[in-house]
Amino acid sequence: MIKRLLNIIPVVFGVLLLTFLLIHLVPGDPVEVMLGDSASIADRAQLREDLGLNQPLVSQFGAYLGKLAHGDLGKSIHTNTPIVDLLKARYPATLKLACLSLLIGLAIGIPLGIYAALKAGHWQDFLVTIVSVRFSAMPAFWLGPMLMLLFAVWLGWVPVSGMDEPTSILLPALTLGFGLSAILTRMTRTSLLEVLNDDFIRTARAKGLGEKTVIVRHALRAALLPIVTIVGLQMGSLLAGTVITETIFSWDGIGRLLVESIEKRDYPVTQACVLAIALSYVLVNLATDLLYAHLDPRVKHVI
């Protein structure tokens, strides 16, 4: 575990370096965004000096790393709000959305995958496979508005967007959860079909165990290993990939904060958002690896 934690350091450093370079390549100047076209050259120069933007990129990156080493993420260029406070206000919303989306994906994907595996070769299997492939091919920027049009505009069951009501989370969670359920359906089906052909399953049936016991206590348990890996990767992706969905549904999470900071050329906030997303992803994957080793002791020496 200590070794894996140490491996996170170069990953995070690489993310910070790439993010720093990329955001400075984006056309636009935060000073121009803040002051507008009517500001004088002297005012622009003074603000650029106050923000440290007149320094070489190497010096700016070094200063950023120095502050980060002391736990200082800095302040927003536009609002002068400590970035830590912005992350504290936005990250829980993203985490809440990701967890509910994961639950929806698990509740739909795993039962459908089991059903498709048990009906392998029949029309039910083909139907589930076709539906899962269709949903996995639907991008969030299309599926989200379609769900919004159906459930919010036509049926009026849930709010169109925002976070004002408890049911506001349903549409963005369904948008993310449907895509995840399609992936889990196919993975569960494939993994379970492989296990059902193993010798220990035939032995369990030969002993007279019921089909439900064979599937739940023996086959499904063995098939969980690749499913756990996929769930861990998808949870990291949910924490990192809710940018489009949060923007569509005006969900005030870290993804929407990232989009807003890029539009405003707010460099410190952009870097902090990417750092939080990267840390979330690598930590979730670390937890997945440790859980995988717990479920299958044979891979402990590899991890």
Architecture of domain 84-299: Orthogonal Bundle (1.10)
What six digits make up the tokens of 64? 């950023």
Task: Give how far Cα 254 sits from Cα of 62, 73, 190, 247, 285, Å.
Answer: 25, 15, 34, 10, 19
What pLDDT sits at residue 215? 79
Give the pLDDT band (50/70/90) at residue 216: confident
For the whole model, what pTM was predicted? 0.83
Give the pLDDT band (50/70/90) at residue 86: very high
What pLDDT sits at residue 9? 86
Angle at 231 between CA 161 and CA 298, to 5 degrees: 165
Give the dihedral sign, CA 185/107/213/296: positive
Under 8 Å between Cβ of 35 and 44: yes
Give the pLDDT band (50/70/90) at residue 171: very high
Domain ranges in the chain? 84-299
What value does the mean pLDDT take over residues 79-101? 91
More confident residue, 296 or 247: 247
Q: What is the mean pLDDT of the chain?
A: 84
What pLDDT sits at residue 296? 63
Cβ-Cβ contacts under 8 Å for 167 (sequence gap 6 or more): 157, 158, 159
What value does the mean pLDDT take over residues 111-122? 89
Whether residue 301 is predicted with pLDDT greater than 70 in this model: the reply is no
